[in-house]
Chain A
Amino acid sequence: MLRFRSDCLILAVVLLSGATACGSDDSSTTVPLISDAGRMAEEPAIVVSPLGPVTLITHDSFLVSEGTLASFTAQTGIEVIHQTGGDTGQLVSSAILTAGNPLGDVMFGVDNTFLQRSLDAGLFESYKSPALSGVPSELQLDPEYRVTPIDFGDVCVNYWIDRFGDDLVAPSSLDDLIDPAYADLMVVQNPETSSPGLAFLLATIHEYGDLWEDYWGALRNNGVLVTAGWEDAYYGEFVAGGGDRSIVVSYASSPPAEVIYADPPVDTPPTGVVTGTCFRQIEFAGILAGTKHRAAAELLIDFLLTPTFQEDIPLNMFVFPALAAAELPQIFEDFVELAEDPHLLNPAEIEAHRNDWTERWTEIVLR
């Protein structure tokens, strides 16, 4: 039996009521994207559609300019509730765990390395958007249209331009990287813990086939350094963060980012891309099975392929629009060199072998 006194009780009750008051306030979780009073005033004619609202769930890297999603609402009357849920791996795992009672109606952000896993789990409902006609067929990986390609980006070997010159020219191929001339210069990410790390491993598997293990043995002998994630490779070991390594696995869009976020400003990027090393990552959106807003979800998928949304992608997410007709920002035109024939593997093959591949990789490179 507890020996309690009334003042403790009063204290408890006061605190308790305060806490429940906070706990039960659920209203602010469904903030519409156009909560901005100013914008509402500019476009007073929005008629709320009975189809919505539609919930868009994305990874944390999803970003659009202010007003982009609002223009969808202005056109359709459907409110978009945007929710983010971790990185791509977290997003896909969460979606699989909540399959049948999904966290949203449309999911954006599954890429070709995770695609098969999400298809196997039956996450998506088929929908063939009419806008797909403007998307190159090599980006359309699912013949059943359960997912729609929205953007793509390349994971490529980057190098610090100043560190190369007449004495040692910058590497130009995967083969170069095992040349002793480039010994101890490269840093890569662990494919067991990093998505660019996995993409680079897949690039080497695509290039060398069954001989990929020998290639990595040679890379190891050439002093390749491994970090857990992109941040510690790029900012910890690469020259950009004050480190010693002048070759790093990063993105095709890293050079323009180095210009846009330079401090102090620069005219040209300090880094270059080895285009022969690029692995193509394609990001998809799909309608989550179990949605109660199927019609609105279809309209949202269509919207993601409009020029309005597509041309907003590069400077927000640093990837490239899937829509062939979408115009790239000038800085991408200037400083991005896209691989003409990037490395790409079939999603089913990736899913079937990735755990074996990464385990073998660990034995070859880390043990």
Chain B
Amino acid sequence: MRRIGATVAVAFPAAFLGVFFLYPIGAILFRGLGAEGLTRLIELLKKPSFWDVAWFTLWQAAASTVLTLAVALPGAHLLARRQFRGRSLLRAAATVPFVLPTVAVGGAFLALFERLGLADGPLHLTRTAGAVLIAHVFFNVAVVLRTVGSFWEGLDPRASEQARVLGASPVQAFRWVTWPQLWPAVAAASSIVFLFCFTSFGVVLILGGPTRATLETEVWRHAVFRGDLASATALAMVQLAAVVAIVMVTNRLQYRRAVVQQPVRRIAPPRASLRLLAANLGLLATVLGLPIVVLVERSLTRGRSGGGWGDWTFDHYGALASRSVLLPASALRALGNSLLFALVATGLAVLVGGLASLVVVHGRRALGRAFDLGLMLPLGASAVTLGFGMLIALDEPPVDFRSSKWLVPVAHALIGVPFVMRTVVPTLRSIDVQLREAAATLGATSVRTRREIDLPIAARALAVGAGFSFAVSLGEFGATSFLPRHPDQLTAPLALFRLLAQPGDALRGQAMALAVLLMLLTAASVLAIEGWGRRGAVRGDL
């Protein structure tokens, strides 16, 4: 039995990764290399313009990660260590930016800069690297807020309280007691944020201005626009090599330490002081709230074209129910498709990510590290490479999987798995050994120990990861757009993109209304998924 279980836990994630990621990516890189890709690679490395792109890709990702941490860590502390009304709502609301299509958010940011007087002048943000960084913070705050927040919540607060009693200042207590314990989760979240920004596409094109490019936008430009597969492959290889290096480094950082985690806190945390709450919420409201307010406002007004504020209306929402002239299916149907795909993708991601996490923590070391690396890579691979790779690799008989609608959630699940693993692995690794030993001393069998201690704690982390996979799937645009599909199987982000592809205020209003519905759907789903995870955690309380 044990052997079979172990084999499944290894084989399933390995097969999933192999068939749907490594094989397609390998196939497309092989094809590209065959077409003079190697010569192009060498030519590429000699070009100064390539190094400009590579440098911008790297530094903007690093800067975006640092900024995201700066904005999100105080909020994570608030969520983990203080009680206040609307806590779970804030957690769910913070995930919302994550699913918003960049084409909608880009427009919102441009409008916001305009309104705040930052469109031109000495402090202008429009078409600058600064705009790219701000948008990256907007999209990624949730990753830090929630993965670090959930881990922080599981840390025993007594250690830092004891330090305080012994005379340490709050800063000292954080620096010397909390931070070392928190570090694995911070490293895990940072690696995700870094990879997301490293492969940034829409944000860079829309907000960065025409002179800024990342490796991702360059791969796309060469593969799709110039039809130059060889150069695109060369760029994709550089990108993939960088991603492998980044993941290996950040993984090492996480291996350093295992930290004690408790199933749920036993001491109710203090209520948040008004000042702490105001400072935190003020910051988050500025970064996350303002662009969203612009989107909501646009979804509720009409007649803004040509300037002015326009009149309030609900018509854009009403129009979503009917089949719009520009969409092959109604926007509501597209939302329904997105929901179905997100459910399947999340199920797959939880299964693959959950099993892989067990292997990483309990399995053979080399195997665990291979999983930890391999399953992280889809997050840093370009959507173009993956999309085209699937087209040429998954066409063999007996099954031509290329045109299956289930390829969409599979692609989404590939991006969801890293989230599941990055929340579950640090948690599993740190489950209190003492707690387990105590349980054994008291006579619990090991099966019971695992069920009653490990599973509930893991469930909490799993739910956070599942929430993210769900959100990733709801908002995914890049890879989806490359996969052939029946027009009825339009997803919400694709529908939104279509609506913005024609002139007309009504269409734009509908696109914004769709974006708002997508946000609400995300918040509601994340609340539901986490509610489930938390109930699991409470049931397991010893």
Contact = CB atoms under 8 A, between A and B. Distances in A.
Interface string A101-124: 101100000000010010000000
Given A85-B483, A162-B306, A6 B5 contact: yes
B404 A235 contact: no
B482 A94 contact: yes
A235 B508 CA distance: 9
Interface in A246-297: 250, 254, 257-258, 260-264, 270-271
A228 interface: yes
B508 A241 contact: yes
A2 B10 contact: yes
Nearest to B392: A97
B302 A84 contact: no
Nearest to A10: B5
Chain B contact residues: helix, strand, loop or mixed: helix
Task: Identify which of A19, A87, A316, A366 gathers the most chain B CB atoms within 10 Å of its CB.
Answer: A19
A29 B226 contact: no
Contact of A31 (B303, B351, B404, B488): B488
Contacts of B36: none
Contact of A13 (B8, B363, B403): B8
B494 to A, nearest CB: 7
Contacts of A192: 221, 225
B388 A94 contact: yes
Nearest to A230: B501
Contacts of A85: 482-485
A264 B302 contact: yes
A226 interface: yes
B144 interface: no
Residue picked from A82, A114, A263, most chain B C-beta under 10 Å: A263
Interface string B401-427: 111111001100000000000000000
A29 B228 contact: no
B503 A257 contact: yes
Contacts of B441: none
B484 A2 contact: no
B305 A242 contact: yes
Contacts of B325: 63, 260, 315-316
A122 to B, nearest CB: 14
A5 B210 CA distance: 56
A234 B505 CA distance: 11
B305 to A, nearest CB: 5
Contact of A228 (B107, B205, B503): B205
Contacts of A90: 224, 481-482
A22 B508 contact: no
Interface in B344-377: 344, 347-348, 350-351, 354-355, 358-359, 362-364
Contacts of A226: 209-210
Interface in A201-255: 226-232, 234-236, 239-243, 250, 254
Interface residues of B, number: 94
Given A85-B483, A98-B392, A228-B210, A4 B9 contact: yes
Contact of B503 (A8, A92, A94, A271): A271
Nearest to B447: A5
Interface in B95-146: 103, 106-107, 110-111, 114
B502 interface: yes
A290 B69 CA distance: 53
Number of contact residues on A: which range applies?
A: 35 or more
Nearest to B323: A66
A61 interface: yes
Contacts of A160: 306
Interface in B220-270: 221, 223-229
Nearest to B1: A6
B443 interface: no
B500 interface: yes
A167 interface: no
B486 to A, nearest CB: 6
Nearest to A7: B451
B328 interface: yes
A25 B404 CA distance: 9
B391 A9 contact: no
Nearest to A98: B391
Contacts of A342: none
B304 interface: yes
Given A228-B206, A261-B502, A28 B391 contact: no
A60 B488 contact: no
A3 interface: yes
Contact of B205 (A89, A193, A263): A193
Interface string B4-38: 11101110100000000000000010010000000
B302 A29 contact: no
B211 interface: yes
Given A15-B347, A86-B482, A240 B404 contact: no
A1 B221 CA distance: 46
B85 interface: no
Nearest to A257: B503
B271 interface: no
Contacts of A366: 210-211
Residue with the greatest number of chain A CB neighbours at <10 A, chosen from B225, B344, B347, B392:
B225
Nearest to A162: B306
Contacts of B217: 193
Interface of B: 1-2, 4-6, 8-10, 12, 28, 31, 103, 106-107, 110-111, 114, 205-206, 209-211, 217, 221, 223-229, 302-307, 315, 323, 325-328, 344, 347-348, 350-351, 354-355, 358-359, 362-364, 388, 391-392, 395, 399, 401-406, 409-410, 446-447, 450-451, 455, 481-488, 494, 497-498, 500-509
Given A5-B446, A8-B5, A355-B226, 16 more contacts: A4-B362, A6-B447, A9-B5, A16-B8, A22-B348, A66-B323, A160-B306, A226-B209, A227-B206, A232-B206, A239-B306, A240-B306, A241-B508, A242-B111, A354-B226, A358-B226
11 contacts: A9-B8, A12-B9, A12-B355, A31-B486, A62-B487, A82-B486, A84-B328, A94-B391, A97-B392, A114-B227, A366-B210
Interface of A: 1-9, 12-13, 15-16, 18-19, 22-23, 25-26, 28-29, 31, 57, 60-63, 66, 81-87, 89-90, 92-94, 96-98, 101, 103-104, 114, 117, 160, 162, 190, 192-193, 226-232, 234-236, 239-243, 250, 254, 257-258, 260-264, 270-271, 315-316, 318, 354-355, 358, 366-367
Ranked nearest first, the 3 interchain pairs of A and B with the lowest CB-CB distance are A261-B504, A2-B6, A9-B5
